[in-house]
Amino acid sequence: MREDDADRLAAESLAAGDPTGWFDRLYREAARGAAVVPWERTAPHGLLVDWTAAHRVAGDGRRAVVVGCGYGRDAEHVAGLAFATVAFDISPTAVAAARERHPDSAVDYRAADLFDTPASWRHGFDLVVESMTVQALPLRLRPAATAAVGELVAPGGTLLVIAAGRGDDDTRPAGPPWPLSRAEVDAFATGGLTPVRVEHFQDPEGVRRWRAEFRRAA
C-alpha cells in the first residue's frame, strides 16, 4: 500500500457512511508494514514546541489532554512539561502502538471517540491540544467536532489548535484533510472559550498553517 492509499481508505470509509473507521484501518495496515501514516513525525509538532517554549508553559501537575494523539509524539512533549497527561485516539491500534513506543511513559493513553468522551472529561483539562484532528473529519462533522474539543477545556484552561489552513475563498479540497479557513478556526471560540491569539504561518513548501490559542474564563 502506498502512502497515498490513505486517501483511498478514507474515501471507502466515507462512502460506507463511516467517517472515522478508516483511521484504525490505516494504523492496522501500517502495523503490518503495508502502509505509511502520512502525518507520522519523528518529533512533536514544531508549532507546539515553539509555543510551549515561547510562553514558558509548565504543567506543575495540572491536567492536559491531547486529541487524536496517534503515536504519541505531542503527548510525550506535553507530559515532559509536567502536565498529568491523557492522550486519546479513536484508533485502538494507534493507542497500542503509542504505549509500545513509549513503554516508560507517564501519559495515560486511551482509545476514545471525540464524539463520546467520558463524562468526567467535560471541562476537565487545563491544557487541551488539538493538532490536525478536526481537519481530518468531514465538513458536516466539523461543528460538532469543534464543540467537542472545546468541551474538554477546564475553567481557566487553554485550548491550542494547530491545523493546515486555507483562504476563506479557496476551493475546498476533496480531502481528507480539509484545511481550516480563518472562520473555521474562529469557530473554536464557542461555549465560553475566547480567542487569545490566532497566528498564520506558511511552511517552506507553501502550506498554510494555523496556530490558535483560546481560553476559558476561570
Question: Could you read off the pLDDT of 91-122 as tens digits, one per residue?
Answer: 999 999 999 999 999 999 999 999 999 999 99
Residue 22 has pLDDT above 60, yes or no: yes
Q: Which residues pair with 128 in a beta bridge?
A: 65, 159
Residue 35 has pLDDT above 60, yes or no: yes
Q: Are 60 and 123 in a shared domain?
A: yes
Same-domain status, 48 and 7: no
Q: At what angle do helices 21-31 and 5-15 cross, to 10 degrees?
A: 140
Same domain, 18 and 97: no
Question: Average pLDDT of the chain?
Answer: 92
In this prediction, residues 112-139 reach a mean pLDDT of: 96
User: Is 22 in the same domain as 54?
Assistant: no
Of 37, 60, 61, 41, residue with least CA distance to 49 = 41
Q: What range does the domain containing 11 cover?
A: 1-38
Q: What is the CATH number of the domain that holds 163?
A: 3.40.50.150
Same structural domain for residues 126 and 200?
yes
Count Cβ atoms below 10 Å from residue 34 Cβ, excluding itself: 12
Answer whether residue 1 shows pLDDT above 50. Answer: no
User: What number is the average pLDDT over the span 71-81?
Assistant: 98
165-206 tens-digit pLDDT:
988 777 777 667 889 999 999 999 999 999 999 999 987 777
Considering the domain architecture, whether residues 23 and 112 belong to the same structural domain is answered as no
**What pLDDT is attached to residue 9?**
80
In this structure, the answer to whether residues 48 and 133 fall within a common structural domain is: yes
Between 10 and 154, whose confidence is greater? 154
* Residues 160, 58 share a domain: yes
CA gap 127, 54 in Å, rounded: 16
Co-location of 91 and 151 in the same domain: yes
- Give residue 135's pLDDT: 93
What percentage of the chain has pLDDT greater than the value 90? Answer: 72
Total structural domains in the chain?
Answer: 2
My answer on whether 30 and 96 are in the same domain is no
Same domain, 92 and 113: yes
Instruction: Answer whether residue 3 shows pLDDT above 70.
Output: no
Q: Tell me which H or E stretch contains 97.
A: helix 92-101
Same structural domain, 59 and 129: yes
How many other C-beta atoms lie within 10 A of the C-beta of residue 169? 6
